[in-house]
């Protein structure tokens, strides 16, 4: 969900220190993951790989159907695997290759993992053409969608702030 302040490539092959040939190979690995997921009936046609120092350290495909988990998107699963492998929550020295432009949830996960470079193949419009329409989410995030029955209600703020205060006072808290 690239937006203000986010550099968004318009079909250019560019970015971090890998050669165009290496980047193409990493993208093809993401596409292989997407195809594997489709063949296995695991979920939608989405795949992702995470690269560090020119080596794929994790790969995943959409597993929404197989796991009955609406958050089991390729990018999220690849991030989880990479974090476990490296033993840390920051992937600041990695790149992610996704077979499709990430949905808002996956884009957020990429941001929170501190991955500085995203390469993607298909666009959200390509995904929409085969039935994956994230436009409602984009509109909801902008506050311009009125057709949803979803409600967001703030409540019990004072009680909830107590956990924030514990975090603020805890000298062992790890800020991320």
Q: Which residues are catalytic?
A: 75
Q: How many residues does the chain have?
A: 176
Q: Residue for token digits 């560090």?
A: 52
- Contact yes or no for 90/176 (Cβ under 8 A): yes
Between CA 68 and CA 159 the distance in angstroms is 33
- Contact yes or no for 91/50 (Cβ under 8 A): yes
Q: Residue for token digits 């959409």?
A: 62
Q: Residue for token digits 């996956």?
A: 106
């Amino acid at each position: 969900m690239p937006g203000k302040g986010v550099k968004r490539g318009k079909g250019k092959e560019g970015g971090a220190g890998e050669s165009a040939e290496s980047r193409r190979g990493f993208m093809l690995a993401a596409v292989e993951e997407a195809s594997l997921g489709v063949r296995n009936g695991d979920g939608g046609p989405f795949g992702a790989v995470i690269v560090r120092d020119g080596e794929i350290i994790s790969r995943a495909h959409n597993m929404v159907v197989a796991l009955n988990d609406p958050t089991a998107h390729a990018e999220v699963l690849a991030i989880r695997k990479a974090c476990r492998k490296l033993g840390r929550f920051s992937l600041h020295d990695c790149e992610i290759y996704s077979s499709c432009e990430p949905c808002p949830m996956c884009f957020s996960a990429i941001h929170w993992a501190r991955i500085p470079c995203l390469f993607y193949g298909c666009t959200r419009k390509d995904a929409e053409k085969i039935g994956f329409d994230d436009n409602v989410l984009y509109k909801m995030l902008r506050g311009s969608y009125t057709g949803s029955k979803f409600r967001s209600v703030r409540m019990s703020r004072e009680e909830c702030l107590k956990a924030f205060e514990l975090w603020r006072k805890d000298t062992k808290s790890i800020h991320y």
